[in-house]
Amino acid sequence: MLVVYSGKAKDVTLLEDNKVRITFRDSISAFDGVKIEDLKEKGKINCRTSTILFELLNRYGFATHYLSNLNETEMICRKVEIRPVEIVCRNVTAGSFCKRYGVDKGIEFETPIIEFFLKDDVLHDPLVAKEIAIQLGWVTKEESALMESTTRAVNQVLSVIFERISLKLVDFKLEFGRTDGGELLIADEISADTMRLWEKETGEIKDKDRYRKDLGGVIEHYKDILQRLEEIESHPEIPIKSTAEITIELKKSVLDPAGEVTLRSLQRKGYQGVEEVRIGKSAKISFSLTPSPNLQEIIKEISDSILSNPLIENYTFDFSSGE
């Protein structure tokens, strides 16, 4: 079978029917692969942790690449093309954030912070502004809105789950991939390698920072996280909300009588420099649903068929998620 991709800790093998097999190896790396070694059982632990967390996200209605678990170190996933940006969500300051802005670690954000990073080891995965990622074609506007709202909703779910097992979700990274059909799915892995988890009571580090900072006991702490996850029996109701804000405007070529009247009135009143007025409308629709490509399609359908008249109007929409 063809290994299509061999990364720092995983191999991806192409299967039939647009599926892949992801094999978790025992290697662990940090600092863009500068520090790398093998830790016995790590592949098994991360595969199991990822399996549990992807199954959890699927259960809460997220669109992920995960299909099934194959064995101790392998899972079967949908084939996707990984997008070149990764999304980091932070509840508390730590890691590169503290270095970049010169702030202490451990400051809790009132609203979780979302950051985009370009996936490029040579450039050391630089932080990128969303506008830059869109203009340089690394993500589309629609993708970036879905990535951000999905990541916020994942944070909502994972924070509650980890809280239940006495762990604080400090931050995490998500990767997204696109299927051949264009569907945007949460991909890669979700494990102690891709998030920061602190013991709730003591602040003890439980995640990959143990390896980065040579604290020792990496496998013991990874195993402890996994064991706690395995012990979760029921899944709490988590009220995930998605909101679409749709702005509808008349096409440039269509006359806008209300806009004309307003323009003349403004000019009469002496407002200087007013050149054109176009009057549009907006709609805000909230759903008690998880953000997903499917929901994004439904919003487009509603905008096309109910909120706007495609013959004379254009619309744009923004998509967000919050409690």
d(CA 269, CA 247): 28
Contact call for residue 96 and ligand UDP (CB under 6 A): yes
Contact call for residue 10 and ligand UDP (CB under 6 A): no
CB of 268 to ligand UDP, least distance (A): 55
Write 91-97 long-range contacts (CB < 8 A, 24+). Answer: 91/155, 91/159, 91/168, 91/169, 91/170, 91/171, 92/168, 92/170, 92/171, 92/196, 92/198, 94/170, 94/171, 94/196, 94/209, 95/171, 95/196, 95/209, 96/127, 97/171
Decide if 165 contacts 229 (C-beta within 8 A). Answer: yes
> Closest CB to ligand UDP among 130 and 173?
173
CB of 25 to ligand UDP, least distance (A): 16
> Closest CB to ligand UDP among 175 and 249?
175
CB of 86 to ligand UDP, least distance (A): 6
The Cα-based distances of 41 to 18, 223, 225, 264 in angstroms read 29, 9, 14, 74
The residue number with the shortest CB distance to ligand UDP is 95
The structure tokens listed for 236 are 């709490």
- Find the binding residues for ligand UDP in span 123-142 (CB under 6 A): 125
Interface residue with ligand UDP among 42, 168, 208, 221 (CB under 6 A) is 208
Could you tell me how far CA 31 lies from the centroid of its own chain?
Answer: 22
Interface residue with ligand UDP among 42, 196, 210, 221 (CB under 6 A) is 196
Q: Mark the segment that binds ligand UDP (CB under 6 A) among 94-102, 290-298, 306-314, 315-323.
A: 94-102
CB of 97 to ligand UDP, least distance (A): 5
DSSP string, 202-269: T--B-STHHHHTT-S-HHHHHHHHHHHHHT--S------EEEEEEEEEE-TTS--HHHHHHHHHHHHT
Decide if 77 contacts 20 (C-beta within 8 A). Answer: yes
> Closest CB to ligand UDP among 7 and 280?
7
Q: Mark the segment that binds ligand UDP (CB under 6 A) among 34-42, 140-148, 152-160, 192-200.
A: 192-200
Interface residue with ligand UDP among 66, 116, 138, 172 (CB under 6 A) is 172
Number of H helices, E strands in the chain: 8, 16
**Residue spans of alpha helices (H) in 24-140:** 42-59, 95-101, 130-135
CB of 194 to ligand UDP, least distance (A): 4
> Closest CB to ligand UDP among 83 and 173?
173
Contact call for residue 194 and ligand UDP (CB under 6 A): yes
Contact call for residue 173 and ligand UDP (CB under 6 A): yes
The structure tokens listed for 156 are 């909502």
Contact call for residue 97 and ligand UDP (CB under 6 A): yes
CB of 304 to ligand UDP, least distance (A): 37
Q: Mark the segment that binds ligand UDP (CB under 6 A) among 3-11, 68-76, 166-174, 291-299.
A: 166-174
DSSP state of 74: E
> Closest CB to ligand UDP among 152 and 196?
196
Contact call for residue 29 and ligand UDP (CB under 6 A): no
> Closest CB to ligand UDP among 130 and 196?
196
- Judged by the rule CB under 6 A, the positions of this chain that interact with ligand UDP are 88, 94-97, 125, 171-173, 194-196, 208
